[in-house]
Every structure is written in structure tokens, then in C-alpha cells.
């Protein structure tokens, strides 16, 4: 298809990202670097985790700003965070930020590393593996206190 074979600066590496069906712009299972499959879904997840983190950031600056009001008002608001429900949301936030950070590094590799576009799919599965390896012990240590308060071990 002429659409894909049009010469352009990075055409070689982008075409190489599509593992087969050269010239159609589709990979073996359908989809391109950015449409369908891992390329698109990693992008969707990047947007969602980014927006969630950004909205949390506004709230976080506001609650911390209470230290400028009085120690008591700060401590009162922080006390409302000390329960298992907010603890679970914290784990979700850490998971979102960690995905966004790892996938951001993958995007940088796609943009600046000559083999990045070709290996973008493999890099996604690598960052997913890193995410799981970090989140399993991370969630364990973060939830430890809530678990003990819920189930009463000393």
C-alpha cells in the first residue's frame, strides 16, 4: 500500500516494527506500531495512569499545604488517610505511577534508540514483568500495617 511505503525519515525502523506482511503496515495479528495490540493499549494505559496521577497530585499539594495552616489541621486530614481503604488506593497509585514511569522509559527508547521501534512489543512485556516483580513485594510491605490492624496480629 502506498500509504506505508512512502519514504520518510524513520520509515525503515517503523516498517521493521511490523513483523510480517511488509508493505501493508499490519503485523501478523493485525495492528501497527500505534493501532491495535500492545502499541495502542500501552498508550491508552499511559494516558489513564497519567491523568489519575495528575489529579492525585493536586490533592496531594493541597493536603500538604495544610502544614502552613496549623499542625492540628494537617494531622486531622492525614488521620483520614490512615485506614485500609485509602491504603488500597495508595497501592493503586503506586501501581499507576510505576507503570507510567516504566512505559515512559519505553517510549523514550522507541523515540531515541535505533532498535526501539522494532523491539517496542518486547519492551512492553519486559516492563510488565518488572512491574509485577516490583509490585508484589511492594504491595505486601505497603499493606502490611493494614493487614495487621484488620486481622489483629501483634
Q: What residues make contact with other proteins under the rule CB under 8 A?
A: 1-4, 6, 8, 21, 24-26, 30, 32, 35, 47, 50-51, 53-54, 57-58, 61-62, 64-65, 67-68, 70-72, 74-75, 78, 81-82, 86-87, 90, 94, 97-98, 101, 104-105, 107-108, 111-112, 138, 141-142, 145
In contact, 49 and 99? CB cutoff 8 Å: yes
Shortest Cβ distance from residue 33 to other proteins (Å)?
Answer: 11
The three three-digit cell numbers of residue 17, written as one number: 516494527
CA 22 to chain centre: 31
Q: Where do we find the cell 502490611?
A: 144
Shortest Cβ distance from residue 55 to other proteins (Å)?
Answer: 9
The three three-digit cell numbers of residue 43, written as one number: 498508550
Shortest Cβ distance from residue 37 to other proteins (Å)?
Answer: 13
Amino acid at each position: 500500500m502506498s500509504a506505508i511505503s512512502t519514504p520518510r525519515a524513520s520509515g525503515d525502523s517503523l516498517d521493521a516494527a511490523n513483523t510480517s506482511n511488509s508493505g501493508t503496515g499490519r503485523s501478523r495479528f493485525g495492528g501497527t506500531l500505534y493501532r491495535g495490540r500492545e502499541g495502542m493499549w500501552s498508550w491508552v494505559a499511559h494516558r489513564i495512569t497519567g491523568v489519575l496521577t495528575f489529579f492525585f497530585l493536586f490533592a496531594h499539594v493541597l493536603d500538604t499545604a495544610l502544614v502552613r495552616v496549623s499542625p492540628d489541621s494537617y494531622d486531622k486530614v492525614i488521620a483520614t488517610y490512615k485506614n485500609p481503604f485509602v491504603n488500597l488506593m495508595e497501592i493503586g497509585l503506586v501501581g499507576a505511577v510505576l507503570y507510567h514511569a516504566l512505559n515512559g522509559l519505553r517510549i523514550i527508547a522507541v523515540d531515541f534508540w535505533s532498535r526501539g521501534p522494532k523491539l517496542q512489543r518486547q519492551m512492553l512485556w519486559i516492563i510488565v514483568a518488572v512491574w509485577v516483580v516490583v509490585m508484589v513485594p511492594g504491595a505486601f510491605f505497603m499493606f502490611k500495617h493494614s493487614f495487621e490492624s484488620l486481622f489483629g496480629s501483634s
